[in-house]
């Protein structure tokens, strides 16, 4: 099999539209019917739904307190728009930091989960995010663990990385399989 990977010159939001075009093409080629997307504000998930209408989209946003204690970052108006477009939204702790980051922040050092996250960042922040949100969505029962999905992540705002993978639950994290990279920033 021969497959090309699209590399962006730089990470960031400016890559979102092109990335979504690439995802649309690969989704069609592979017949994938589920896409999980990191979308704190909901903007990227909404753009995805406007570009691809024949797919089940799961939008993952930050947990309450990620930026400000007790606060959700997802605007209620955006959440309403996501629901209107049939996009499921998941709000929860990050699979590759969560409690581990809290321990490191309090006591120093690093946890095994943070080592996994740092290793995935060697590809790109967006690839790490794609793996992470797939685990989160699998644990919520929102994506299958026995068929391929597409995961979209980014560096900061917007999207700059997309991967095809088979998700796994947190308890079986090493069963997750990344099958291919659709696009990512070139480090």
Residue-range domain boundaries for the chain: 6-185
Whether the Cβ atoms of residue 155 and residue 11 lie closer than 8 Å to each other: yes
As a residue count, the chain comes to: 187
In tens digits, what is the pLDDT along the chain, a chain of 187 residues?
A: 889 999 999 999 999 999 999 999 999 999 999 999 999 888 999 999 999 989 999 999 987 767 778 777 778 888 899 999 999 999 988 888 878 888 888 898 888 999 999 999 999 999 999 999 999 999 999 999 999 999 999 998 899 999 999 999 999 999 999 999 999 999 7
Regarding pTM above 0.95, the answer is no
Task: Give tens-digit pLDDT for 1-55.
Answer: 889 999 999 999 999 999 999 999 999 999 999 999 999 888 999 999 999 989 9
Give the H/E segment covering residue 28: helix 16-30
If you write DSSP's letter for every residue of 123-176 in order, what string do you get?
T-HHHHHHHHHHHHHHHTTSS-SSS-EEEEE-SSSS--EEEEEE---GGGGGG-
Q: Which top CATH class is 6-185?
A: alpha beta
Please give the C-alpha separations between residue 99 and each of 95, 105, 130, 138, 173, in angstroms, as whole numbers.
Answer: 9, 10, 19, 19, 16
């Amino acid at each position: 099999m021969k497959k090309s990977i699209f590399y962006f010159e730089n990470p960031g939001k400016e890559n979102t539209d092109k990335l979504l075009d690439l995802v649309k093409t690969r989704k069609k080629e592979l017949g994938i019917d589920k896409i999980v997307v990191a979308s704190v504000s909901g903007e990227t998930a909404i753009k995805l739904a406007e570009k691809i209408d024949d797919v089940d989209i799961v939008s993952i946003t930050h947990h309450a307190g990620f930026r400000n204690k007790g606060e959700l970052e997802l605007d209620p108006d955006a959440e309403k728009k996501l629901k209107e477009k049939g996009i499921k939204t998941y709000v929860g702790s990050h699979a590759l930091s969560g409690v581990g980051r809290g321990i490191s922040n309090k006591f120093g050092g690093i946890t095994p989960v943070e080592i996994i996250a740092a290793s995935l960042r060697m590809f790109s922040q967006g690839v790490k995010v794609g793996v992470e949100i797939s685990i989160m969505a699998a644990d919520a029962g929102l994506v299958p663990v026995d068929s391929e999905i597409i995961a979209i992540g980014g560096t900061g705002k917007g999207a700059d990385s997309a991967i095809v993978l088979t998700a796994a639950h947190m308890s079986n994290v090493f069963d997750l399989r990344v099958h291919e990279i659709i696009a990512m920033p070139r480090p």
